[in-house]
Amino acid sequence: MLSIVGIKFFDIAFKLSIFQKINNGVLLEEIMPNIKISLVLRYFNAVAYPVTFLFATNYFQY
């Protein structure tokens, strides 16, 4: 459960940092130049969060 909270904390902190820079007038291309996000990376959280939740709740142990 702590891993989910940790990942989500860094996710929110990163997004807030980007939004604050955009609000201050910095272009998105200056913040993240030449970043191409693949489909695997784009939907990674749809797999990572449920799997880490299942590990945290001991779902796989009998």
pLDDT in tens, 33-53: 887 778 888 788 899 989 989
Q: 12-46 in b/e burial notation, b at 16+ Cβ within 10 A?
A: eeeeeeeeeeeeeeeeeeeeeeeeeeeeeeeeeee
pLDDT at 58 over 80: yes
Computed from CA positions of residues 23, 27, 30, 34, in that sequence, does the dihedral angle turn out positive or negative? positive
Give residue 10's pLDDT band: very low, low, confident or very high (50, 70, 90): very high
pTM of the model: 0.52
pLDDT at 13 over 90: yes
Question: What does the longest C-alpha to C-alpha distance in the chain come to?
Answer: 54
Side-chain-side CA neighbours of 8 within 13 Å: the count stands at: 10
Share of the chain above pLDDT 70, in %: 98
Assigned token pair, 15: 């997004």
